[in-house]
Amino acid sequence: MSKAKKISGFPEWLPEEKILENHLIDKAMSIYESHGFVPIETPAVELIETLTAKGVVDKEIYGLKRLAAEEEEESKLGLHFDLTVPFARYVATHFNDLVFPFKRYQLQKVWRGERPQKGRFREFYQFDADIVARDTLPMSSDAEVVTLLAKCLVAFKIGTPRIKLNNRKLLVGFLEGIGISSELLPKVVTVIDKLDKIGDKGVTKELDTLGVEKGAIDKVLAFTSEKIAAADFSQKIASLSLESDLAKAGASELEEVIALIPEDLLPFVEIHLQIARGLDYYSGTIVESEIVEFPEFGSVGSGGRYDDLVSQYLSKSVPGVGISLGISRLMELILDNKLLEIPAKSSAEVLLVVFDEENRSAVNTFAEELRKEGIATEVFFKSPKLGKQVDYANKKGIPYVVFLGDKKEVKNLSTGEQQEFSAVQDLKSVISA
């Protein structure tokens, strides 16, 4: 068995678990499509210069090298580590063939060359929805993608979603306003973003190490300590008497986004003034999310506004905003905590028993009639004793077994009830009853 062990950090599900994952994917996809989003797919690889264009730490990237390549052949291709950078490159590549605003969804694996640990996969699914436009993109688009994220988390029925919103301009403007230097700013933002993990004490210690003054640290902690319900944001922000124009602009953007989130989803939205997200292409709206019942588990979907990412590949202004569902992380949460029922091990509704091999062609013909009626049907692959065939249906969770003998009979495996039927339509009504 040692030859076939799983590789750490690369999740692999059993078939019934994969069916469950597909249910999540289908739900999110139908929500994305109900808003007019269309699918795209990019290669798993990009040029390494594309992946590292925005100063992303390259130790997380897997480079590709043909096994038979010469030693000196340098690797130019790397596996993508998210779907936002490839999407931005895609928009630049196909700019003249796209209609803007361009609203796309994208479901693909991404790879990160990290040391595997709980909740840190090296290969995982992301399911993104983004909107990009030429020149300007209004806050209605930020509100739409945040709405998509909230809708998906509600639809999954795995707990209470908490959507954490912020705006990078608001945070950065505030920090500038209290005198943080532009040189220190990115590091300070990174520390503040860790508040939920390391607490006030941790933030104080790290900011102190960076050389931030005690008075400024206190202001930071006062600013970031409160979680604000979305409905209270306008009042709260007025009370802060922001002076920085950048901070005011960020607050105003955030108000616009909040105003456009549907009423039934608004109770799930909170403003968390400390969140900033690690990836440095975000320039405005920032969103993260978690399941309230599992706060330790961390983020299950996130995203934000990136005004300058596409323009790195194209000398045009193409602002964008998007969210990314962490499908593999959600699966880990769901499986570890048994949050959803695991589906059957087979997609078949009916197993047709084969009495002997002479019959097989006739049984196959009947199976085709059922499939034409939309009933997924399996024909047992051998013809052992009937008990063995019924056993198989039980083990796979196939709900009905059909015997095509002198009499035609169908057995409901959950009730044990067995009854005769005459034609396909009869059988269909038994099954759909």
Which residues in 187-206 contact its own copies (CB under 8 A)? none
In the complex, minimum distance from the CB of residue 382 to its own copies, in angstroms, rounded to a whole number: 6
In the complex, minimum distance from the CB of residue 270 to its own copies, in angstroms, rounded to a whole number: 20
DSSP 213-250: -HHHHHHHHHHHH-EEEGGGHHHHHHHTT---HHHHHH
Q: Does 314 bind its own copies (CB under 8 A)?
A: yes
Q: Does 376 bind its own copies (CB under 8 A)?
A: yes
In the complex, minimum distance from the CB of residue 406 to its own copies, in angstroms, rounded to a whole number: 23
As a whole number of angstroms, the distance between CA 110 and CA 80 comes to 6
Query: Coil, helix or strand for 27?
Result: helix
Footprint of its own copies on 337-366 (CB under 8 A): 345-348, 351, 360-361, 364-365
- Ramachandran angles phi, psi of 323, nearest 5°: -130, 160
As a whole number of angstroms, the distance between CA 322 and CA 120 comes to 22
In the complex, minimum distance from the CB of residue 122 to its own copies, in angstroms, rounded to a whole number: 9
From the list 274, 302, 324, 377, which residue makes contact with its own copies (rule: CB under 8 A)? 377
Q: Does 407 bind its own copies (CB under 8 A)?
A: no
Structure tokens at 360: 């097989």
Q: Does 186 bind its own copies (CB under 8 A)?
A: no
As a whole number of angstroms, the distance between CA 252 and CA 77 comes to 41
Order of all β-strands in the sheet with 227-229: 38-39, 102-111, 123-132, 320-325, 301-306, 285-291, 161-167, 269-272, 227-229
Q: Does 421 bind its own copies (CB under 8 A)?
A: no
Footprint of its own copies on 17-56 (CB under 8 A): 18-19, 22, 33-50, 53
Footprint of its own copies on 379-398 (CB under 8 A): 379, 381-382, 392, 395-396, 398
- Give the interface size with its own copies as a residue count (CB under 8 A): 102
As a whole number of angstroms, the distance between CA 287 and CA 207 comes to 24
- Judged by beta carbon, residue 37 or residue 174, the one nearer its own copies is 37
- Judged by beta carbon, residue 214 or residue 388, the one nearer its own copies is 388
Of the candidates 297, 298, 301, the one whose C-alpha atom is nearest the C-alpha of residue 323 is 301
Footprint of its own copies on 203-262 (CB under 8 A): 259-260, 262
Q: Does 63 bind its own copies (CB under 8 A)?
A: yes
Structure tokens at 178: 């209290």
Footprint of its own copies on 106-145 (CB under 8 A): 109, 111, 113, 123, 131, 133, 137-138, 140-141, 144
Q: Does 428 bind its own copies (CB under 8 A)?
A: no
Residue type, position 329, single letter? R
Footprint of its own copies on 77-106 (CB under 8 A): 77-79, 89-90, 92-95, 97-99, 101-104
In the complex, minimum distance from the CB of residue 392 to its own copies, in angstroms, rounded to a whole number: 7
Order of all β-strands in the sheet with 377-379: 377-379, 350-352, 400-404, 408-412, 418-420
Structure tokens at 341: 């029922």
- Judged by beta carbon, residue 113 or residue 177, the one nearer its own copies is 113
